[in-house]
Structure 1
Amino acid sequence: MAQDDLASRVLNSIFFKSATKKASKYAMGSLALLELLREVLSKAKDVADKENKGVGQVLTDKLTTLSRMVKAYVSGQYRIVPWPTILKIVAVLIYFVSPIDVIPDILPIIGLTDDLAIVLWLFRALHEDIENFEAWERNQLFQDFSIE
């Protein structure tokens, strides 16, 4: 599959290796990480507004889920997720906000191809962790609205 090939190219690129090195520094500092999440959500909104609506929305939805997961981890609300999972997520988020990557973001439409490929790869790689988080989130929402 072409998308898997692109994800492999991204994972082996100097750009992703740089993002991976930065991930542990970001993940250790709450303020820097929260700023990263703000940048991710801002860029995701721009993508959804400007790019192919279907692809842009899929990317935005997935990035929003990842951002909520990291935010819940940083706030201490959700610590079930393993540390290596947080590092992978943060590395992908750093890669996403970086304008200089395997396929530069300044190229209309195709500039997001590598970003989408790496986000979809991450969702496949962390499927169980993300499913557990989404189940925890639904449970939290249910608890918030339950009548005692």
Structure 2
Amino acid sequence: MADKEKEKEKEKEKDNKSLMDSIRLILGKEDKIKDQLDNGRGLERYTKDLLLLMSLVKDYYQGNYRNIPYKTISAAVVGLLYVINPIDLIPDFIPFIGQIDDALVLKFCLKLMEKDLLKYKTWKDEQSASKDKDSKPTNKKLKDKNKSTAKADKDEESKAEDDKVDTKKST
């Protein structure tokens, strides 16, 4: 019984290593995916989803977001690997037709992971809102900044007047 559990654990570790290796490959080809989107290669209607998918894979890899089932992240990786692979059912070098299979595979993967992708998007939006909130100065901070700026300006004016008086005295 313990042997089977150890064997399952080893298999899980092997699958996880393979997944992480695939993610590294995808992240290394991120420019290629963006190039395919920019050059009108039949994936334009999936641009937002594809970029969100890349962001999900990147956040998963970096450990920022792990609240996702293994099957979902696996589907994302398989879909992205298929899109970046030039040799698939219909080769990508055949104009228009070569991208149909990429679009179909991508659509299928996005459909499989729709709910989890929406959860990720919500999390991502919350992270962005939190960063924006932290970076925006509050009214108190603005008032304090304005006060210190006004005080510095007043000090500069006072110093300039003192210099004028000193100049007049010396002449």
Same-fold call, TM cutoff 0.5: yes
Offset of residue 26 of structure 1: 4.2
**Structure 1 counterpart of 2:52:** 65
Cα deviation code 1:35-87 (max 9, x no counterpart): 42231x322332233326xx432233322111100111111111101111111
The total of aligned residue pairs comes to: 121
**Structure 2 counterpart of 1:90:** 77
Runs of 5+ consecutive residues of structure 2 not aligned to the other structure: 1-14, 139-171
**Matched letter for residue 75 of structure 2:** K
DSSP-derived class of the 1:146 partner: helix
Aligned mates of 1:81, 1:58 — CA distance in 2: 25
Moved more, 56-65 or 95-104: 56-65
Which structure has the higher relative contact order (CA within 8 Å, separation 6+)? 1
Matched, 1:104 2:94: no
Aligned mates of 1:62, 1:74 — CA distance in 2: 18
**Structure 1 counterpart of 2:19:** 27
Greater Rg over alpha carbons, structure: 2
DSSP-derived class of the 1:141 partner: helix
Of 95, 114, 128 in structure 2, the residue corresponding to residue 141 of structure 1 is 128
Cα deviation code 1:116-143 (max 9, x no counterpart): 1111111111110000000000000111
**Matched letter for residue 79 of structure 2:** V
Offset of residue 25 of structure 1: 4.7
| C-alpha distance 109-44 of structure 1, shift in aligned 2 (>3 A) | same
| C-alpha distance 98-25 of structure 1, shift in aligned 2 (>3 A) | farther
**Matched letter for residue 34 of structure 2:** K
Runs of 5+ consecutive residues of structure 1 not aligned to the other structure: 1-22
Of 112, 115, 121 in structure 2, the residue corresponding to residue 125 of structure 1 is 112
Q: Percent identity between the aligned chains? A: 30
Matched, 1:115 2:107: no
Query: Could you say what the CA RMSD is over the residues aligned between the two structures, in angstroms?
Result: 2.1
**Matched letter for residue 106 of structure 1:** F
Aligned mates of 1:118, 1:24 — CA distance in 2: 22
